[in-house]
């Protein structure tokens, strides 16, 4: 019988290299469902989940790697071979140190960090989904930013701006906490949407149970599926919600149901560089209804002009003004 040349050490090194490659693929702007299915199939095989977790931990040390002259030189060479995709239009995405993670596995051997941390953000009109080391998924809406920190005892994501949908992998020993300013949402295994605005934080629960703590005078509230919590500095108000409408953005849809025109315009503008302006005298409080594709300014303008008797005029700066006829 021939000797097994693939000993334990070789298998671990191969798994680490495969994990680094998967980390890079999942960091691309567009990740297909087929790619995600293949990733989860790979991760389910013995040893691969641990390998992927090791790569994520190396990511946490990316800043220290970049400060090391030798590692910086190696990184520059690697980036010359694999340039990350860049989006046009000036909006930035802080990619998760994918090349650094690969170098950490290939060059640093057992030089690993115990923690994972990183920032992911989207520009105006962009959406992105990332898979965390524990298998949880975070889908970011337009112009959003999250800061991820995972340790052996906890999982924490700070929503610094915008909106995100969290699909949380169950882990009773490590609650998953999303912080949006002073508001904290704690889950174990569930799906929920968090939107951070200037005056309030909105939490919409798709499935499972979460606890919402506004960090102020109101007592924490326990939410169940189908409800939305509106959190201010003084109150946590929970009520039944239209979950499909609240999370329609994940399918590229904006849903308006008896929504004031001014509010609808503000929502459409979240996805636009050249937005819509309501002129004085426009019926901003008039309720509107409809379903529109995110970023489809023309469809919304046409519907508003026809349905409300408004005149649409494009300015030299690219914005469109809706005014009474």
Question: The domain spanning residue 240 has which CATH number?
Answer: 2.60.120.1440
User: What whole-number distance in Å separates Cα of residue 188 and Cα of residue 171?
Assistant: 6
| pLDDT of amino acid 146 | 95
Domain identity same for 161 and 185: yes
Parent domain of 257: 252-324
Domain identity same for 124 and 243: yes
CA neighbor of 210 nearest in space, from 177, 240, 234:
177
| pLDDT of amino acid 107 | 33
| pLDDT of amino acid 88 | 34
Name the CA dihedral angle for 254, 256, 261, 263, rounded to a multiple of 10 degrees: -60
| pLDDT of amino acid 252 | 93
Q: Any residues with CB less than 8 A from the CB of 44 and at least 6 apart, and which?
A: none
Domain identity same for 21 and 144: no
| pLDDT of amino acid 7 | 44
Asked if residue 165 lies in contact with residue 146, where contact means CB atoms within 8 angstroms, the answer is no
| pLDDT of amino acid 40 | 78
Domain identity same for 225 and 136: yes
Domain identity same for 283 and 245: no
Domain identity same for 54 and 106: yes
Q: For 172-231, write each residue's pLDDT tens digit.
A: 889 999 999 999 999 988 999 999 999 899 999 999 999 999 988 889 999 999 999 999
Domain count, the chain: 3
Domain identity same for 137 and 208: yes
This prediction has a pTM of 0.66
Domain identity same for 78 and 133: no
Asked if residue 192 lies in contact with residue 231, where contact means CB atoms within 8 angstroms, the answer is no
Decide which of 201, 230, 250 is a domain's last residue.
Answer: 250
* Total count of residues recorded for the chain: 325
| pLDDT of amino acid 117 | 60
| pLDDT of amino acid 111 | 27
| Residues paired with 76 in a beta bridge | none
Domain identity same for 126 and 245: yes
Asked if residue 288 lies in contact with residue 246, where contact means CB atoms within 8 angstroms, the answer is no
| pLDDT of amino acid 126 | 94
CA neighbor of 259 nearest in space, from 315, 304, 309:
304
Domain identity same for 108 and 120: no
CATH at 303: 3.55.50.30
Decide which of 186, 219, 250 is a domain's last residue.
Answer: 250
Whole-Å CA distances, 233 to 27, 196, 318: 36, 13, 37
- The low-confidence residues of the chain, meaning pLDDT below 50, are 1-11, 29, 60-115
Decide which of 112, 147, 171 is a domain's last residue.
Answer: 112
Domain identity same for 42 and 91: yes
């Amino acid at each position: 019988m021939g000797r097994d040349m693939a000993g334990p050490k070789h298998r671990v090194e191969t798994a680490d290299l495969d994990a680094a490659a998967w980390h890079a693929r999942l960091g691309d702007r567009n990740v297909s469902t087929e790619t995600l299915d293949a990733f989860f199939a790979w991760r389910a095989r013995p040893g691969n989940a641990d390998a992927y977790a090791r790569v994520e931990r190396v990511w946490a040390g990316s800043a220290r790697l970049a400060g090391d002259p030798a590692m910086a030189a190696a990184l520059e060479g690697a980036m010359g071979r694999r340039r990350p995709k860049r989006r046009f239009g000036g909006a930035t995405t802080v990619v998760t140190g994918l090349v650094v993670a690969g170098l950490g596995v290939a060059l640093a051997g057992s030089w690993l960090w115990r923690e994972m941390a990183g920032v992911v953000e989207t520009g105006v009109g962009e959406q992105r989904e990332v898979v965390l080391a524990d298998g949880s998924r975070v889908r970011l809406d337009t112009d959003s930013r999250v800061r991820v920190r995972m340790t052996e005892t906890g999982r924490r994501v700070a929503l610094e701006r915008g909106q995100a949908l969290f699909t949380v992998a169950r882990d009773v020993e490590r609650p998953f906490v999303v912080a949006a300013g002073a508001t904290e949402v704690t889950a174990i295994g569930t799906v929920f949407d968090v939107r951070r605005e200037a005056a309030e934080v909105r939490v919409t629960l798709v499935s499972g149970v979460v606890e919402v703590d506004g960090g102020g005078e109101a007592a924490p509230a326990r939410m169940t599926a189908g409800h939305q919590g509106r959190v201010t500095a003084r109150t946590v108000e929970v009520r039944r919600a239209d979950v499909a409408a609240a999370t329609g953005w994940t399918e590229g849809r904006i849903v308006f149901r008896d929504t004031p025109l001014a509010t609808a315009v503000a929502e459409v503008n979240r996805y636009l560089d050249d937005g819509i302006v309501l002129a004085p005298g426009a019926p901003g409080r008039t309720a509107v209804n409809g379903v529109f594709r995110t970023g489809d300014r023309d469809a919304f303008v046409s519907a508003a002009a026809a349905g409300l008797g408004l005149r649409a005029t494009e300015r030299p700066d690219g914005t469109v003004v809706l005014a009474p006829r």
